[in-house]
Structure 1
Amino acid sequence: MILVVFAVANISTASILVRLAGVQGFVAASWRLILSSTLTLLLLLASKEWVRVDLTLRDLALMTISGIALALHFGLWMMSLFHLTVAASVTIVDSYPAILALIGHYIIGEEYNKWQLAGAGAAMIGVGGLALSSSHGGLAPPGGNPLIGSLLSSSGMVAVAVYFSIGKTMRAKHGTLTYTGIVYTIAAVSSTIITYMLGYKLTGYRLETYMYLAGLALFPMLGGHTIINYVLEKLSLLAATVPVLGEPIGATILAWIILGEPVTGEEALWMALTLTGISLVLLKEEG
């Protein structure tokens, strides 16, 4: 549980780092994935886990789908950050527990008690309310289109649900470094291809920009997503991923402090409901 809290705190920095970097979504996603996949592969090669890697064609196929989904999740969501407030963008992209609950129950075969389902539902309501209240503030970035931003963020939400679902299945068979090393690499290649297909490049930016992009790889990726992939083996799909709904709260607070996007009293209430829901899911997982 301590690891989950640490991971969510790191993931909460992602939207701020993307805004500060100021580059196109898939450019930011590509550098985040290139750097994190390189570090993860080096750790894998240096570990004893490498000699135990045993992949089937089915495993590789699923990891490829997971990697492509991760690339789409990052790229589409990061694009939405320039059309919506941080609070609205992050809350929409994190509204996937309902999909994961269905996948976890009907496909993976997990059982959830009524308190966990109620907690996930409460967290979802809190996230939805936070997104709506944030969008009413009219604080979207200059030139942003809220409709396009909502579509981009929603598409990123579907993609991350696919990524986490496959991760739950694969982590039961493969170590954290094996799974993340392969998936992050596939995601990096996919994101880079999409970046150039869209007519953008990965070079020619200021040193400050690259520092923010390196921060994306170190904190929300290695210190966030990799830890979530680790705990997927220890917790149910719902318990391991619902806490990520705490990201909108951390990101909203950071956006208020660093980017000057204020938090209203209404938003604070929705945040409290989200945290209550997350607490229910985690507490009942232990029980």
Structure 2
Amino acid sequence: MTNDTLKIPVFIPLIIGIIAISFSSIFVKWSDAPVSVQGMYRLVFTLFLMLPFTLKHIKALKSISLRKWLLLLLSGTFLALHFLFWMGSLKLTTVASSTILLSLQPVFVMAGAYFAFREKTSKPAIIGMLVAITGAVMIGWGDIGISKQHIQGDILSILGTIVVAVHMLIGQKLLKTIPAAIYSFSVFLSAVIVFAGYNTLLHIPMTGYSDKDWGIFLLLAIVPTVFGHVLFNWLLKYVTAATISMAILGEPVGATLLAYLLLNETLTFSQWAGGAIVLLGLYYFLKNTRILKKDKPPAPIKSPVTAGPIVKKG
């Protein structure tokens, strides 16, 4: 970790990541496979794609302590739970509703970062966050709570939002001392193990799926995972977890538009207006969010979630 300055404008990789993760909900909707199987193979293919880059940092494994390995396992567990909850929500509710609730992630991340890292955010940044969240709520306002099934989907999306916030906060802590490639590979491998155990316990078939489903598994690995989650993990070296979470607010805009074009999910005027407000709030937040300096380690944190120093969070 010798560099603490990004050599390209931060908005470029952020926009690439937002576009990539916006396709995630579309791919999930297109597949008929159980979400736990989609999540598992999504990460299995990602591991194969990452392997050549990860091997370059193989020597770094010797410096990882047992405590850090446990945190990596914990981060992977929360990532698996995120995919399980959020991808499950897409089977019960609309893309707009699911991604809207997922966009509330900055609320949990900022709260966790404050208690875990004593990380403060400027008032203008908070205003930007509130504006963006207001726009996000407008996008999905007409869809949320339409039926019991929609409510169940909403609850799953909220649970997915909470656990991904924890995942990201752990990442912010570990990436201070662990190369991004090692971090992502270890976390994804941990998540695959969790998924495999889950599928085995519930007797969910892990083979016998159509060529279409296998193609979607691969697309999930390449587009939203590599160009989305892996990219955001790398960016955590240069910006705060709250900044990454705020950038992800762009996902509801992209996902809702894609759902309109590819899934024939209709959009209301409030959803169009909300999308514009999300982008405005996102820009204002990013403009007023400080760059995280790597030479200033976070304050020790205590959290009931991690039974020790805390963890932070798609």
Q: TM-score, normalised by structure 1?
A: 0.93
Q: Shift in Å at residue 67 of structure 1?
A: 0.2
1:82 partnered with 2:91: yes
Aligned to 1:130: 139
1:29–1:71 contact (8 Å) kept in structure 2: yes
**Number of the residue aligned with 2:33:** 23
Contact 1:115 1:284 in 2 (8 A): yes
Contact 1:26/1:76, CA 8 A, preserved across alignment: no
1:4-153 correspondence runs (5 A): 4-45=14-55, 47=56, 49-53=57-61, 54-135=63-144, 145-153=149-157
Distance in 2 between residues matched to 1:101 and 1:35, nearest whole Å: 32
Which residue matches 1:252?
A: 256
Alignment partners' CA distance in 2, 1:109 and 1:85: 36
Give 1:201 deviation, angstroms: 1.4
Deviates more, 1:146-155 or 1:250-259: 146-155
Identity %: 27
Query: 1:34 deviation in Å?
Result: 1.3
Deviations 1:35-63, CA, capped at 9 Å, x for gaps: 11232233211x2x222332111111111
Separation (CA, whole Å) in 2 of partners of 1:182 and 1:133: 40
Q: In structure 2, the residue corresponding to 1:133 is in which secondary structure?
A: coil
Partner of 1:280: 284
The answer on whether the counterparts of 1:31 and 1:202 sit within 8 Å (CA) in structure 2 is no
Q: Aligned equivalents of 1:217 and 1:68: distance in 2?
A: 18
Deviation at 1:268, TM superposition (A): 0.8
Contact 2:144 2:151 in 1 (8 A): no
Any idea what the Cα deviations from partners look like across 1:200-243, whole Å, max 9, x if unmatched?
11211110111011000000001100010011110122112211
TM-fit CA distance, 1:162:
0.7
8 Å contact from structure 1 (residues 69, 162) kept in 2? yes
Matches within 5 A, 1:91-240: 91-135=100-144, 145-240=149-244
Which residue is equivalent to 2:310? none
Contact 1:92–1:157, Cα closer than 8 Å, also in 2: yes
Once residues 198 and 263 of structure 1 are traced to their aligned partners in structure 2, the CA distance between those partners, rounded to angstroms, is 37
Is the 1:67–1:184 contact (alpha carbons within 8 Å) kept by the matching residues of 2? yes
- CA–CA separation in structure 2 for the residues paired with 1:34 and 1:208: 17
Contact 2:132 2:282 in 1 (8 A): yes
Note the aligned Cα RMSD (angstroms): 1.6
Checking the alignment, whether the CA contact within 8 Å between 1:110 and 1:236 is kept in structure 2 is no
> Offset at 1:286?
6.1
Aligned length: 280
Distance 1:131 1:195, change over 3 A: farther
Q: Which runs of 5+ in 1 are unaligned?
A: none
Deviation digits for residues 49-89 of structure 1, max 9, x if unmatched? 22233211111111111100000100111111111011101
**Separation in structure 1 between the aligned mates of residue 14 and residue 208 of structure 2, nearest angstrom:** 36
2:8 maps to what in 1?
Answer: none
* 2: CA distance, partners of 1:132 / 1:26: 28
In 2, Cα distance between the equivalents of 1:201 and 1:75?
16
Secondary structure in 1 matching 2:142: helix
> Does the aligned pair in 1 maintain the 2:60–2:179 contact within 8 Å?
no
Match in the other structure for 2:297: none
Could you tell me whether the CA contact under 8 Å between 1:228 and 1:241 is conserved in 2? no
